[in-house]
């Protein structure tokens, strides 16, 4: 959740840290801090954004070539200056930045207190800093050993970087359950919780594995396991461009990412879906495809927007591949005793590849002997490494906290998988297959058409920006879209919104409808169309305000609705890919008009690496 950045080399560390923290701010943004070594360790930290930290540093002398920085999403202790990272141990020997949670911190804190250690903050991280220092002062031969011994006493997750004032020519980094990437430069190293702060300096990176401890001087990197076994670092090439992590002229990342969807879906297709060919190529699934085709049941595990994509997947796999599907919140699945049979396949979906609950659910599924596949966006993140096989979405970096292009690319991958299985099982005839692929290939340009009509959506947003509640309705493939539309609105504009299957409305939510209640109905032409027309009438009869997403040329709902957002006609199996776009834009415009911080909504963080 939090962002980590660190530097060691010949350059000035501070600009690299500040720049890196700005790039990482989407991971957490309630406080930020840096520490620079230059004859002594200086720490500057502040509640608020990185800009507040910069103002606080002002013109103070923070020169130095070694430094660590952190942007926080609070877990232990409220967001304030004292709880912000970096944390320094009581005698100032160790300064640390940390992502994750030390679960036994309270017991460790009591013990250290009984030994006379005092604390300034309420954080688990300061406990770790003091534990390391205590062990070091008790006679550990060097800082690395003190860190190793301390980590052996810790229960929980961490990605951390440490400066020891007695050994100031090095950084010590360790990872367990919280990602860390090392950028390899020329006599310099960069560390970060993801590659975004590194890419402008180097494309050569090393992803730490769980249990790794790295000791880094400006010209040497030593990597060992938690059992002190030497490792050969594996250097990989990043394939992100710096342009992908900039706003590219848009006012917000979210808007840029909404408008990127034609391109990101094309990238997800590229090399996989070809019109001239009768197969979809999903290289990452090649070896497991026979098992997938034979699957008696598919279990999809995910959180948030990825869970909504999973729900679309349920309809796709059932429709096209005739495999029963259960879609589970990862956080619920992992705490049950789920029944997984040997013919079941588990699919984990995640944009970040770091969501703690999804990772834990994967672990559980693996322990129960399941084949676990991943659909993930961030290359090299934990989920692709923990799953047996999988497919990358290739959406490109998604920086806006509200997920948009990740959702449509996840649905694209699920559709490719379902079509592949259906085709292999001979459930899809040659001509239906050709029609599906033709229609699938048209999706990016149809999204482009919707985006060109964004003004209509913006005008409607103006009228509803002051609502306090809203209802989102859909049926079939469009029910998950209703859920996703409602989530987008509530998370970035703080308007309460509920998504429902349209027919469920009369079992309770209809009581909420009056002339002040905006009801967003996703009602494009498919087999449920007549039914949803009746649902729209039910809303109309109670004077609800109707905002409908309809198929171009629709006249029936147009007559009843207060506003319509038209989308081009498509095969219903792809309808989620088009119908979600107006809802993303609607939420975006409302949030901007309400003056909300669209890219960094309150209380949220981009990747949820705590349980």
Active site residues: 2, 606
Could you tell me the smallest distance in angstroms from the CB atom of residue 335 to ligand M6R? 17
Q: Rule CB under 6 A: is residue 306 a binding residue for ligand M6R? A: yes
Q: Rule CB under 6 A: is residue 395 a binding residue for ligand M6R? A: no
Contact segment (CB under 6 A) with ligand M6R among 114-122, 301-309, 337-345, 465-473 equals 301-309
Helix, strand or coil, per DSSP, at residue 17 = helix
Contact segment (CB under 6 A) with ligand M6R among 10-18, 127-135, 149-157, 400-408 equals 400-408
The residue with tokens 């081009």 is 568
Helix, strand or coil, per DSSP, at residue 327 = strand
When binding is defined by CB under 6 A, the residue of 303, 457, 557, 578 that contacts ligand M6R is 303
Number of residues counted as binding ligand M6R (CB under 6 A): 16
**Cα–chain center distance at 456:** 30
Contact in structure between 396 and 240 (CB atoms under 8 Å): yes
Q: Rule CB under 6 A: is residue 71 a binding residue for ligand M6R? A: no
Contact in structure between 153 and 128 (CB atoms under 8 Å): no
Structure tokens at 350: 């995640």
Cα-based distances in Å from 36 to 6, 16, 24, 252: 10, 11, 18, 31
Could you tell me the smallest distance in angstroms from the CB atom of residue 402 to ligand M6R? 4
Contact segment (CB under 6 A) with ligand M6R among 61-69, 351-359, 522-530, 576-584 equals 351-359
Among candidates 21, 10, 163, 145, which has minimal Cα distance to 84? 21
Q: Rule CB under 6 A: is residue 351 a binding residue for ligand M6R? A: yes
Query: Contacts with ligand M6R in 135-154 (CB under 6 A)?
Result: none
Dist CA 326 CA 73 (whole Å): 32
Q: Rule CB under 6 A: is residue 401 a binding residue for ligand M6R? A: yes
When binding is defined by CB under 6 A, the residue of 89, 125, 268, 352 that contacts ligand M6R is 352
Dist CA 391 CA 209 (whole Å): 20
- Give 202 or 609: the residue with its C-beta nearer to ligand M6R: 609
Element (H, E) at 552: none
Q: Rule CB under 6 A: is residue 544 a binding residue for ligand M6R? A: no
- Beta strands per DSSP E along 21-149: 31-38, 40-47, 66-72, 87-88, 94-99
- Give 319 or 498: the residue with its C-beta nearer to ligand M6R: 498
**Which neighbouring-strand residues pair with 520?**
472, 547
- Give 352 or 551: the residue with its C-beta nearer to ligand M6R: 352
Dist CA 1 CA 159 (whole Å): 11
Query: Contacts with ligand M6R in 461-490 (CB under 6 A)?
Result: 487
Could you tell me the smallest distance in angstroms from the CB atom of residue 23 to ligand M6R? 17
Q: Rule CB under 6 A: is residue 331 a binding residue for ligand M6R? A: no
When binding is defined by CB under 6 A, the residue of 65, 71, 89, 350 that contacts ligand M6R is 350
- In this structure, the strands spanning 344-350 and 297-302 are parallel
Sheet containing strand 220-224, strands side by side: 87-88, 94-99, 158-164, 171-176, 213-217, 220-224, 230-231
Contact segment (CB under 6 A) with ligand M6R among 47-55, 196-204, 337-345, 350-358 equals 350-358
Contact segment (CB under 6 A) with ligand M6R among 147-155, 251-259, 349-357, 416-424 equals 349-357
Could you tell me the smallest distance in angstroms from the CB atom of residue 488 to ligand M6R? 7
Dist CA 380 CA 206 (whole Å): 9
- Give 461 or 487: the residue with its C-beta nearer to ligand M6R: 487
- Give 403 or 454: the residue with its C-beta nearer to ligand M6R: 403
When binding is defined by CB under 6 A, the residue of 196, 264, 305, 408 that contacts ligand M6R is 305
Contact in structure between 402 and 587 (CB atoms under 8 Å): yes
Residue with the shortest CB distance to ligand M6R = 304
Count CB neighbours of 538 within 10 A. 17
Among candidates 133, 141, 136, 147, which has minimal Cα distance to 226? 147
- In this structure, the strands spanning 189-192 and 94-99 are unpaired
Dist CA 191 CA 205 (whole Å): 9
Q: Rule CB under 6 A: is residue 346 a binding residue for ligand M6R? A: no
When binding is defined by CB under 6 A, the residue of 205, 362, 608, 610 that contacts ligand M6R is 608
Could you tell me the smallest distance in angstroms from the CB atom of residue 3 to ligand M6R? 15
- Give 99 or 350: the residue with its C-beta nearer to ligand M6R: 350
Dist CA 595 CA 604 (whole Å): 17
Contact segment (CB under 6 A) with ligand M6R among 320-328, 398-406, 516-524, 564-572 equals 398-406
Dist CA 445 CA 263 (whole Å): 9
Q: Rule CB under 6 A: is residue 402 a binding residue for ligand M6R? A: yes
Contact segment (CB under 6 A) with ligand M6R among 168-176, 300-308, 310-318, 591-599 equals 300-308
- Give 304 or 501: the residue with its C-beta nearer to ligand M6R: 304
Q: Rule CB under 6 A: is residue 261 a binding residue for ligand M6R? A: no
- Give 89 or 350: the residue with its C-beta nearer to ligand M6R: 350
Query: Contacts with ligand M6R in 403-442 (CB under 6 A)?
Result: 403
**What b/e string do you get for 243-276 counting C-beta neighbours within 10 Å, with b at 16 or more?**
ebbeeeeeebbbbbbbbbbbebbbbbbeebbeee
Could you tell me the smallest distance in angstroms from the CB atom of residue 26 to ligand M6R? 10
Q: Rule CB under 6 A: is residue 99 a binding residue for ligand M6R? A: no
Would residue 5 be called left, alpha or beta, if left means φ above 0 and alpha means ψ between -120 and 50 degrees? beta
Q: Rule CB under 6 A: is residue 358 a binding residue for ligand M6R? A: yes
Residues that bind ligand M6R (CB under 6 A): 303-306, 350-352, 355, 358, 401-403, 487, 491, 607-608
């Amino acid at each position: 959740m939090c962002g980590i950045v660190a530097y060691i080399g010949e350059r000035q560390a501070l600009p690299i840290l500040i720049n890196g923290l700005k790039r990482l701010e989407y991971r957490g943004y309630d406080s930020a801090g840096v520490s620079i070594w230059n004859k002594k360790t200086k720490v500057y930290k502040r509640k608020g954004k990185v800009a507040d930290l910069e103002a606080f540093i002002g013109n103070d002398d923070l020169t130095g070539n070694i430094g660590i920085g952190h942007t926080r999403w609070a877990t232990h202790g409220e967001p304030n200056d004292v709880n912000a990272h970096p944390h320094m141990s009581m005698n100032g020997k160790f300064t640390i930045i940390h992502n994750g949670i030390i679960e036994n911190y309270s017991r460790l804190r009591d013990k250290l207190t009984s030994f006379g250690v005092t604390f300034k903050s309420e954080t688990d991280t300061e406990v770790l800093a003091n534990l390391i220092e205590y062990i070091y002062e008790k006679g550990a031969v060097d800082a690395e050993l003190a860190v190793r011994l301390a980590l052996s006493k810790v229960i929980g997750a961490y990605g951390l970087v440490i400066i020891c004032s007695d050994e100031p020519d090095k950084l010590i980094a360790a990872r367990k359950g919280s990602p860390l990437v090392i950028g390899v430069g020329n006599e310099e190293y960069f560390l970060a919780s993801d590659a975004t702060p590194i890419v402008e300096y180097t494309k050569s990176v090393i992803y730490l594995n769980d249990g790794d401890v790295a000791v880094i001087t400006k010209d040497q990197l030593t990597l060992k396991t938690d059992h002190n076994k030497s490792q050969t670092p594996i250097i990989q090439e990043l394939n992100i461009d710096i342009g992908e992590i900039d706003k590219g002229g848009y006012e917000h990342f979210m808007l840029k990412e909404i408008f990127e969807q034609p391109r990101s879906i094309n990238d997800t297709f590229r090399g996989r879906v070809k019109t001239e060919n009768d197969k979809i190529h999903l290289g990452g699934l090649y070896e497991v495809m026979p098992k997938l085709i034979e699957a008696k049941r598919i279990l999809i595990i995910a959180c948030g927007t990825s869970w909504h994509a999973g729900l679309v997947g349920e309809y796709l796999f059932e429709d096209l591949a005739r495999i029963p599907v259960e879609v589970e919140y990862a956080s619920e699945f992992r705490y049950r005793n789920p029944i997984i049979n040997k013919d079941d396949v588990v699919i984990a979906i995640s944009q970040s590849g770091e969501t703690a609950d999804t990772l834990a659910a994967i672990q559980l599924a693996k322990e129960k002997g399941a084949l676990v596949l991943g659909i993930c966006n961030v290359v090299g993140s934990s989920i692709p490494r923990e799953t047996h096989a999988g497919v990358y979405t290739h959406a490109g970096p998604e920086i806006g906290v509200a997920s948009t292009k990740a959702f449509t690319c996840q649905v694209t991958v699920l559709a490719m998988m379902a079509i592949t299985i259906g085709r292999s099982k001979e459930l899809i005839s040659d001509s239906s297959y050709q029609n599906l692929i033709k229609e699938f290939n048209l999706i990016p340009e149809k999204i482009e058409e919707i985006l060109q009509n964004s003004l209509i959506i913006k005008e409607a947003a103006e009228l509803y920006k002051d609502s306090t509640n809203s209802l989102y309705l859909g049926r079939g493939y469009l029910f998950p879209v209703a859920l996703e539309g409602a989530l987008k609105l509530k998370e970035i504009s703080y308007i309460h919104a509920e998504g429902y299957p349209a027919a469920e409305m009369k079992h309770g939510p209809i009581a909420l409808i009056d002339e002040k209640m905006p009801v967003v109905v996703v009602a494009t032409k498919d087999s449920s169309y007549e039914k949803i027309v009746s649902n729209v009438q039910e809303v109309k009869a109670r004077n609800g305000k109707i905002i409908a997403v309809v198929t171009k040329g629709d006249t029936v709902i147009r007559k009843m609705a207060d506003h319509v957002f038209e989308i081009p006609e498509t095969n219903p199996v792809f309808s989620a890919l088009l119908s979600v776009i107006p809802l993303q834009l609607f939420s975006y415009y409302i949030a901007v008009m309400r003056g909300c911080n669209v890219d960094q909504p309150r209380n949220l963080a981009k990747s949820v690496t705590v349980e």
